[in-house]
A = this chain, B = another copy of it.
Amino acid sequence: MAIKTPQQYIESLKDGRVVFCNGERVKDVTSHPILKICRDWMAMDYVLENDPRYRDLITEKNEEGERVSFALMPQRTREDLRRLREIVKLWARVCLGKPPGAKFVAKDGLNAVTVVSQRIDKEYGTNYAKNVEAYRKYLQKNDLSFAMGLTDVKGDRSLRPSQQKPHQDYYVRIVEERKDGIIVRGAKTHISQAPLCNELLIAPCRAMKEDDRAYALSFAVPANSKGITLISAEPEVKEPDLFDHPIAGSVFINDSTIIFEDVFVPNERIFLKGEWDFAGQVAYMFANFHRLSAETYKAMELELFTGAAALMAEYNGVEKAPHVREKLTWLVMFTEAVEIIGRSACEYCVKEPDSDLVYPNPMYANICKFYFADNWHQATKYIQDIAGGITVTCPSSKDYLNPETHALLDKYLGGKEGIPTEHRIRMAKLIRDLTSSYEDVLTIHAEGSLEAQKLSIFALADFNRYKAAAKRAARIQDGTRDKVYSELPEFPPKDL
């Protein structure tokens, strides 16, 4: 089958999984009023795969000649990355800035274990790479949605996994080894879309030491495996209303907590088991691959954001005020700079040594992430400043639609002549959604925190070149050499 229809995807979720949301056990995730928002968003992955206009972009024939999701294939060239970027842009534009997560995150985890499993096999003579490859084929063949379970619940952030107290399950670990597999316990959190995915791919979120051996663990299991409890994040909305909540009513990322209470994982689904010296590499490689995502979709989200600011300025009649133009200009610059830097990360991509996989330039990708996350709150301030108090004091759309009050609100909440009042209200509601604390936190924490970017950038920096430039300028010769600066002609020139 390979490419599923949206309906097939939805059917596949009726599998007895244990999901909680808002304090209640969810009987059927496909019909729950709020999880349905996530379901429909996820389904767009399948809608687009089946849309003849996008099929050639989004799907590709695999080695077996079967047409599968391109996202489930490894990226081996700059052209592959460019194509993946186009796919992510399409996903994002269709879904209001947020790519549907059926494969969006976990594909990068799959690439990460692809690279690392080969290394472990080489070092320790294990057989993980075969497992990964079989799992990839399985995903392709069944066009499965899968979530990436990376972040452990962590307990005390200043302690390593094995140092935690009062219990030792703050990071997912092996509690028992059996002949045919392992029993795992622990919890992952912030796991986007997990309740609406078929599979869960689990990997360590940090480097480990020998004591943490039991936590050096990567595997995959179906979301309905015995012992797994999925608890949804508190939803942003109580009902899927597209008027009052145009974003939150149609995109529910549903960052869940996944709890593993002694779950069995068969040997063929294990990709790392105890090789603690490789644990950090999985997290690191995941980050390398995953950097394409936010560095791509965020520019699409910002198109929407900047457009909302421009429209609200117009609807309010203030689009010519100098301070408004100044803020719109800043938003344009922000939007385009994210696009430029994110694209450059793909165009100057990096080939992972001992592997045929490529990923975005990590220096550029980290700069892109840091840049948009660091400036996001400034953008928020600007759009809120332009839009005015109406974004939070506007009555509910139910009041606007209520015949008793419709005429009054339609008359009085009007803006510039000629703009329907409804448009102004809709734009106010959109801006409230775009500037929620959810959006803030997603922007700064998803794909690694601001501090994580700083650490990466510092580690990746070519300080030797910079220092060589400064020494040459200060006329310091200390015996160090640099391939760019040491060969340059003397300046000022002698004897003219």
| Interface residue A408 (Cβ < 8 Å from any Cβ of B) | yes
Contact, CB under 8 Å: B471 / A311: yes
Question: How many copies of the polypeptide does the oligomer hold?
Answer: 4
Contact, CB under 8 Å: A476 / B385: no
Expressed in whole angstroms, the minimum distance between the Cβ of A329 and any Cβ of chain B is 5
Instruction: Give residues of chain A (439-456) contacting chain B, Cβ–Cβ below 8 Å.
Output: 440-442, 444-446, 449-451, 454
The CA-CA distance from A232 to B395 in the complex, in Å, is 6
A64-82 CB contact bits vs B (8 Å, 1 = yes)?
A: 0000000000000000000
Number of residues of chain A lying within 8 A (CB) of chain B:
172
The interface residues of chain B lying within 8 Å CB-to-CB of A485 are 93
The CA-CA distance from A376 to B435 in the complex, in Å, is 14
| Interface residue A187 (Cβ < 8 Å from any Cβ of B) | yes
The CA-CA distance from A378 to B461 in the complex, in Å, is 19
Contact, CB under 8 Å: B250 / A395: no
The CA-CA distance from A392 to B97 in the complex, in Å, is 18
Expressed in whole angstroms, the minimum distance between the Cβ of A216 and any Cβ of chain B is 20
| Interface residue A284 (Cβ < 8 Å from any Cβ of B) | no
| Interface residue A229 (Cβ < 8 Å from any Cβ of B) | yes
Chain A facing B: main interface SS = helix
The CA-CA distance from A164 to B329 in the complex, in Å, is 28
The CA-CA distance from A103 to B130 in the complex, in Å, is 61
Contact, CB under 8 Å: A385 / B450: yes
A474 in contact with B415 given A43-B496, A47-B489, A367-B336 (CB within 8 Å): no
The interface residues of chain B lying within 8 Å CB-to-CB of A336 are 363-364, 367
A246's partner among B244, B393, B475 (CB-CB below 8 A) is B475
The interface residues of chain B lying within 8 Å CB-to-CB of A39 are 496
The CA-CA distance from A326 to B450 in the complex, in Å, is 11
A473's partner among B157, B247, B469 (CB-CB below 8 A) is B247
Instruction: Give residues of chain A (9-24) contacting chain B, Cβ–Cβ below 8 Å.
Output: 10, 20-24
Instruction: Give residues of chain A (68-109) contacting chain B, Cβ–Cβ below 8 Å.
Output: 93-97
The interface residues of chain B lying within 8 Å CB-to-CB of A436 are 436-437
| Interface residue A308 (Cβ < 8 Å from any Cβ of B) | yes
A457-496 CB contact bits vs B (8 Å, 1 = yes)?
A: 1100101011111111111101000001100110111001
Contact, CB under 8 Å: B332 / A461: yes
| Interface residue A356 (Cβ < 8 Å from any Cβ of B) | no
- Which of A97, A422, A444, A470 is the most central at the interface, judged by chain B CB atoms within 10 Å of its CB? A470
Contact, CB under 8 Å: B246 / A474: yes
The CA-CA distance from A395 to B388 in the complex, in Å, is 32
| Interface residue A432 (Cβ < 8 Å from any Cβ of B) | yes
The CA-CA distance from A90 to B22 in the complex, in Å, is 36
| Interface residue A134 (Cβ < 8 Å from any Cβ of B) | no
| Interface residue A204 (Cβ < 8 Å from any Cβ of B) | no
Contact, CB under 8 Å: B156 / A415: yes
Expressed in whole angstroms, the minimum distance between the Cβ of A215 and any Cβ of chain B is 15
* 24 A-B contact pairs sorted by A residue (CB < 8 Å): A10-B496, A21-B399, A23-B396, A39-B496, A44-B491, A51-B489, A94-B489, A95-B491, A156-B416, A157-B415, A158-B416, A169-B411, A235-B396, A259-B412, A304-B466, A306-B466, A310-B466, A336-B364, A343-B344, A384-B441, A384-B445, A385-B444, A426-B474, A436-B436
